[in-house]
A = this chain, B = another copy of it.
Amino acid sequence: ECETHNGEGVDSPALDALLMDLTKVNNSRDRANRLFQDNWEKKPILIQRQNPDFYKGLFSTAEFDQILRNDDVQYGVNLDVTSYTNGKRETHNPPGRALPYTVWDFYESGCSLRMLNPQAFSSTVWQVLSILQEKFGSMAGANVSEDEVLPLVSSPNFNQNEIGQPIMDVVLEAGDLLYFPRGFIHQGDCLPNAHSLHITISSFQRNSWGDLLLKLMPASLEIAMEEDVEFRKGLPLDYLQFMGVQNSEKDDPRRSKFIAHVEGLMKNLVSYAPVDAAVDQKARDFLHDCLPPMLSAEEKASSVYGAPARWGDGKALDVTVQLKGQTQIRLVRAGAARLCGDGDTVSLFYTTENSRVYHKEEPKSTEMKTEHIDAMEFLIHSYPKFVSVASLPCETMEAKMSLAELLFEKGVIRTAEPLTAE
């Protein structure tokens, strides 16, 4: 719902480089590039480029000024104004909309400005994050800081003693990139009289094996209790007499027997673990977290947004220009839609109707008819190849058409060529 301000999409070669930087990690066949291979989730990486224009086009203070002018940026919601006095942080957000008149006045008075969800306002940031989220299979977030002065204080969660000596202490110049793994304590200061604009991108939160097990374990147990009588058998009538903290130092032979039985059951859980279903649970959450795909002009033209149906000459025109059997289609993006098991049914979850504001929309999904499931899988696995509607593996032409129509209307697929009236 918000317009973008610096052209359509990202075309700076340097930005391509950034994206390549950030995503090389993902290409396990690239033996030449061990940089991320060796550091990912392990060590920080600092890339110093001596090229202040390297990230030109990603985000600029001038773009920030334009956003304030054109969009409804709200203090406290989209922008935080803070200052540090004697090592204490203070917030100065007035109520209401942030306009350049007040924002630059705060800035000149020495306040820091932090934009909380630049992806909702800047299409470049939107695009960068949506590419990242696709590459990493995990939500990506961002904030942008604008400072003249930055405090010499660290995160309030730790005091200096607890942290110990820093392992890295560098001056970042314009064009530099610093990666560090989840969980690294860090602190930014601003050199005297320097203007600093930096963008912080975070991703790969709550994406560990343990997070997957949080979904998998309850599901495994539910299945085990249904299918395996051992899990339904009653506990020993007297188990409270020898188990529990108050009995933990008792030397009772029943204790080890009880614990061994529990451990046996825990190991048996493995046989009931619905791994794919648990992955689907994570996938569903992820598709809800995602930014919607940012479409290029060409993509818009070939999707529902560019369909020729319109009002003109006092009547509805080109309403009949619709998909045909020979129309070539594919997903708009690899990750824009996904089939997930959802209890007894299979549903298609998709990102195309998400908002650029985090979780502003409910999760979007539609239950799949049985006759559509194979065709949907076929379409997903065909990406990035276009396939004709007629080639979808449904029994009837009607089913093929209705699936394609459904997906087209939700913006999940695009056509190879824009739909036109002959």
Interface residues of A in 69-90 (CB under 8 A from B): 69, 71-72
**Interface code A304-346, partner B: CB below 8 Å = 1, 0 otherwise?**
1101011110111101000000000000000100111100001
- Contact between A263 and B273 (Cβ–Cβ < 8 Å)? yes
Query: Of B99, B211, B224, B235, which is within 8 A of A207 by CB?
Result: B235
**Interface code A29-44, partner B: CB below 8 Å = 1, 0 otherwise?**
0000000000001000
A286 CA / B239 CA spacing, docked (Å): 13
- Contact between A245 and B275 (Cβ–Cβ < 8 Å)? no
- Contact between A209 and B262 (Cβ–Cβ < 8 Å)? yes
- Contact between A104 and B245 (Cβ–Cβ < 8 Å)? no
| Interface size of A as a range | 35 or more
Interface residues of A in 41-87 (CB under 8 A from B): 41, 61-62, 64-65, 69, 71-72
- Contact between B105 and A309 (Cβ–Cβ < 8 Å)? yes
Cβ of A372 < 8 Å from any Cβ of B?
Answer: no
- Contact between B237 and A209 (Cβ–Cβ < 8 Å)? no
Query: Of B26, B100, B210, B220, which is within 8 A of A224 by CB?
Result: B210
B-contacting 9-mer, from A8-16, A122-130, A264-272, A391-399: A264-272
Mostly, the A contact residues are: helix
Cβ of A422 < 8 Å from any Cβ of B?
Answer: no
- Contact between A364 and B209 (Cβ–Cβ < 8 Å)? no
Query: Of B101, B259, B286, B364, which is within 8 A of A275 by CB?
Result: B259
A2 CA / B71 CA spacing, docked (Å): 9
**Interface code A336-372, partner B: CB below 8 Å = 1, 0 otherwise?**
0011110000100000010000000000100000000
Cβ of A96 < 8 Å from any Cβ of B?
Answer: yes
Residue of B with least CB distance to A181:
B234
Closest chain-B Cβ to A234's Cβ sits at a distance in Å of 5
- Contact between B234 and A207 (Cβ–Cβ < 8 Å)? yes
Decide: A319 near B269, CB < 8 A? Known: A243-B276, A276-B245: no
- Contact between B108 and A316 (Cβ–Cβ < 8 Å)? yes
- Contact between B270 and A263 (Cβ–Cβ < 8 Å)? yes
Cβ of A386 < 8 Å from any Cβ of B?
Answer: no
A105 CB contacts on chain B under 8 angstroms: 309, 319
- Contact between B262 and A104 (Cβ–Cβ < 8 Å)? no
Closest chain-B Cβ to A356's Cβ sits at a distance in Å of 11
Query: Of B208, B239, B335, which is within 8 A of A231 by CB?
Result: B208
Closest chain-B Cβ to A314's Cβ sits at a distance in Å of 6
A210 CA / B262 CA spacing, docked (Å): 9
A225 CA / B241 CA spacing, docked (Å): 30
Residue of B with least CB distance to A136:
B237
A104 CA / B231 CA spacing, docked (Å): 46
- Contact between A210 and B237 (Cβ–Cβ < 8 Å)? no
Query: Of B25, B217, B232, which is within 8 A of A217 by CB?
Result: B217
- Contact between A409 and B263 (Cβ–Cβ < 8 Å)? no
**B-contacting residues of A (Cβ < 8 Å)?**
1-3, 25-26, 41, 61-62, 64-65, 69, 71-72, 94-97, 99-105, 107-108, 135-137, 182, 195, 204, 207-214, 216-218, 220-221, 224-225, 230-235, 237-241, 243-248, 258-259, 261-263, 265-267, 269-270, 273, 275-277, 279-280, 283, 286, 304-305, 307, 309-312, 314-317, 319, 335, 338-341, 346, 353, 364, 376-377, 380, 408-410
Sampled A-B contacts (13; CB under 8 Å): A1-B71, A26-B238, A65-B310, A96-B353, A104-B316, A104-B317, A210-B232, A210-B265, A216-B266, A218-B218, A240-B279, A240-B335, A245-B341
